[in-house]
Amino acid sequence: MTGTFVGMPAFPTAAREALADTQLRHNLAHATGVIRGKRAAVVGEVENWEDLRLAGAAVKDRALRDLDEQLVRLEESLTARGAVVHWARDAEEANRIVIDVARAHAVDEVVKVKSMVTQEIGLNEALEAAGVAAWETDLAELIVQLGGDLPSHILVPAIHRNRAEIREIFLRRMGEVGRPAPDDLTDEPAVLAGAAREHLREKFLRARMAVSGANFAIADTGTLVVVESEGNGRMCLTLPEVLVSIVGIEKVVPSWAELDPLIRLLPRSSTGERMNPYTSTWTGISPGDGPQEVHVVLLDNGRTRALADDVGRQALRCIRCSACLNVCPVYERTGGHAYGSVYPGPIGAILNPLLKGTGDPQTDSLPYASSLCGACFEACPVRIDIPEVLVHLRSKVVDSHREDRIPKPEAIAFRGAAWAFADERRLGRLEKLSGVAGKVLRRRSPVVGRIPGPGAAWTDARDLPAPPTESFREWWNRTDGGKADG
Amino acid sequence: MASARDEILGRIRTALRDVEPDAEPVLSPPGARVPEALGLIDHFAERVADYRATVVHCAPDGLATAVAAALPVGSRVVVPAGLPEAVLAGITHPVRDDGLTASELDLVDAVVTCARVGIAETGTIVLDHEPDQGRRAITLVPDLHVCVVRADQVVPDVPDAFPLLDPVRPLTWISGPSATSDIELDRVEGVHGPRHLYVIVVGSAPSR
């Protein structure tokens, strides 16, 4: 029913396709423009925003520096409040745990709260293969699921769809999986939201099991936190009898009081609101209120690999607000699909290689999907220095190719440069040669046109200046370092 | 084979070999100050109303009237078991929640509850689901939520609310009616939660 990111081409190829899609570019430019404006307004309201960012980063760092102890404490507090705690090394293990809970209760459907981590592990597909239907209940996730589409944004997975496309998807698909959309459905956002309300309500009312992620998990108390807007999260967390929450191990926050800066940072950075409509917190089982069987799956799936990288581990501070996507000049033009992952944009460009490791051509292309302008770092509420990590990961990608039998053109070029710069006389002779070439070329134009071979990738989008007729060293000698007139 | 738990904890310990833990909790920066021209309660009311919720003030002896005015004539209203008499007095057809099913709640028009904390800066109401607010489902399924907040429950900003809340209880932070921005990032009120939030602020701000 849903698509898959498996087998996506590397970023440059995927981006080219996205850039040619004018409807997509229009949808994205509009949506990211709106959200940037909203965020700027509510962030500007906070006098000590920078102090808040520092505090938010410090809280997440404190949890990560002591992660093993924090997780053991989280497990103890959860267990003490009646939750069943599971640990999963990878996606397959996590999916198996959810399927086993579903089988134990003989359910053939679950309702889902929007969750990045369940996307990451492909839970819906795994459940479907086990004969359990997983209904996405977040509006954007519903649009993606009904459209057989892929998410393209962390916060608004259907950001690439406009209202007319959404109307068409609802009319075509809702009836196949439940209550159909009304025949007179218009493309007014309020009317479309109303159709989703009607469509999903019967599913909420009858569902016996729900699956969620968590935005935060408090180690001291065992409290899980879900931040949302629509109330679909509250429906899933409150009405069913059984709740399974899949929590990445990096979601831990040491204490209740330390949740405060994060709760202040997230909505302003994410939806550009002072506060999101609904935040739910729950601690294990509350007798007589909500699910009376609560499972929590603590998931690794590459997080310990990221933690072992002393530059990259700061990416685990991420609270999935998506502010970095909205300000990124690359994301704004290519959209999320080009990144080939549920984590697109600047954070995806570092998170994917950190979680999966380098070595795969698609993953290895991601650290290069950036102009290193730094807007992402400026916007990040927990101060993840994304450009720093991008550069670090680029060096890892390059390092992983040092032993290649057939070196990359870049490596050959740099080896040539090293050879030329290693000997002063050799460099002088080469500079003479390039000066002659410059004289010839500049007769025609100061810019070299498209060059063939591997250099074409560079000249396709940039002007390569013709070599100067005089080298710097020649100029220096001739003018005594610029003192003589020259 | 090692258990998943032991293996994950082992990987973490290896990854953090050279990292010292930080024992000191992080102190939160102070919250926003209340705009002097407005005062705490008006600031709260303005911020709640900003989400397109309805906000009214009343004196303690006008509470029943204010509650009655919030409810459309003839509406079926679910109430938590511990709703104070002064609030209950304004409801013509109260349905006391004695464990109604979700489908039964779906047939109810409105819910009336109290609250634990109001946060002025963000226009947020926090429920801790004590008997005067009831279990979580009753404030979720009906389409209209009338919420009574005492003026002395309102605090300036989020950091003032944290010490007043017990995380062991389930908590629901409500900032306006249910909303979505999922269609072209255009905010639309009214998806799955109550589409109408009606807040009654009782009394005036305590003098400080």
Region of residue A106 (left: phi > 0; alpha: psi -120 to 50; beta: else) = left
> Which of B133, B160, B191 best tests the A interface by mutation, with the highest count of A CBs <10 A?
B191
Query: For the domain that residue B127 is a member of, what is the CATH number?
Result: 3.40.50.10420
Number of domains in chain B: 1
Nearest to B134 by CA among B154, B152, B108: B108
Q: For the stretch A179-202, what's the b/e string if a residue is b when 16 or more beta carbons lie within 10 angstroms of its beta carbon?
A: ebbeeebeeebebbbbbbbebbbe
- How confident is residue B101, by pLDDT bands cut at 50, 70 and 90? very high
- Which residues, numbered 71 to 110 in chain B, qualify as contacts with chain A under a Cβ-Cβ cut-off of 8 Å? 99, 102-103, 106
**Residue-level pLDDT at A456:** 81
- The H or E element containing residue A228 is strand A223-228
Contact (CB<8Å) B21/A61: no
Radius of gyration of chain B (CA): 21
Domain assignment present for B137: yes
Instruction: Output the CA–CA distances (angstroms, integers) from residue B12 to A249, A277, A313, B29, in the order listed.
Output: 10, 35, 12, 30
The residue of chain B nearest to residue A75, with distances taken between CA atoms, is: B5
Give the pLDDT mean for A94-110: 98
ipTM of this complex prediction, to 2 decimal places: 0.96
Give the pLDDT mean for B109-123: 98
Domain assignment present for B87: yes
Selecting from A197, A234, A259 the residue whose C-beta is nearest the C-beta of B136 gives A234
Q: Which residue has the higher pLDDT, B185 or A115?
A: A115
Summarised one tens digit per residue, pLDDT across range A311-350 is 999 999 999 999 999 999 999 999 999 999 999 999 999 9
Contact (CB<8Å) A47/B129: no
**Residue-level pLDDT at A364:** 95
Token reading at A209: 């099991």
Put simply, whether B133 touches A (Cβ < 8 Å) is no
Structure letter (DSSP) for residue A245 = E
Token reading at A72: 């053991």
Domain assignment present for B41: yes
- Which residues, numbered 5 to 34 in chain B, qualify as contacts with chain A under a Cβ-Cβ cut-off of 8 Å? 5, 7-9, 11-16, 18-22, 24-32
Summarised one tens digit per residue, pLDDT across range A15-31 is 999 999 998 899 899 99
User: Considering only CB atoms, which chain B residues are within 8 Å of A86?
Assistant: 4
Selecting from A156, A289, A300 the residue whose C-beta is nearest the C-beta of B182 gives A156
* Least confident among A162-171, A468-477, B168-177, B180-189: B180-189
Summarised one tens digit per residue, pLDDT across range B168-186 is 999 999 999 999 988 887 8
> Which of A208, A275, A285, A316 best tests the B interface by mutation, with the highest count of B CBs <10 A?
A275
Q: Please list the alpha-helical segments (H only) found in chain B.
A: 4-15, 40-50, 63-70, 85-88, 102-106, 158-161
Contact (CB<8Å) A190/B174: no
pLDDT of A302 higher than 70: yes
Summarised one tens digit per residue, pLDDT across range A142-154 is 999 999 999 999 9
d(CA A248, CA A316) in angstroms, rounded, equals 10
pLDDT of B204 higher than 90: no
Return the number of CB contacts < 8 Å for A and B.
250
pTM: 0.92
> Strands B179-180, B188-189: parallel, antiparallel or unpaired by DSSP?
antiparallel
Question: What kind of architecture, by CATH, is found in domain A11-303?
Answer: 3-Layer(aba) Sandwich (3.40)
The residue of chain A nearest to residue B161, with distances taken between CA atoms, is: A260
Parent domain of B155: 35-202
Residues above pLDDT 90, as percent of chain A: 84
Give the pLDDT mean for A191-218: 95
Token reading at A319: 């609270």
Enumerate the CATH 3.40.50.10420 domain ranges in chain A, comma separated.
11-303
Q: Sign of the C-alpha dihedral, residues B58, B64, B67, B72? A: negative
User: Considering only CB atoms, which chain A residues are within 8 Å of B124?
Assistant: 275
**Residue-level pLDDT at A463:** 85
Give the three-state DSSP class for B57.
strand
User: Considering only CB atoms, which chain B residues are within 8 Å of A47?
Assistant: 32
Token reading at B153: 């429950």
> Which of A61, A67, A212, A245 best tests the B interface by mutation, with the highest count of B CBs <10 A?
A67
**Residue-level pLDDT at A486:** 56
**Residue-level pLDDT at A354:** 98
d(CA B73, CA B92) in angstroms, rounded, equals 9
Domain assignment present for B76: yes
Domain assignment present for B168: yes
Domain assignment present for B106: yes
Nearest to A292 by CA among A364, A350, A208, A225: A208
**Residue-level pLDDT at A380:** 98
**Residue-level pLDDT at B206:** 52
Token reading at B158: 């989020």
Put simply, whether B152 touches A (Cβ < 8 Å) is no
pLDDT of A2 higher than 80: no
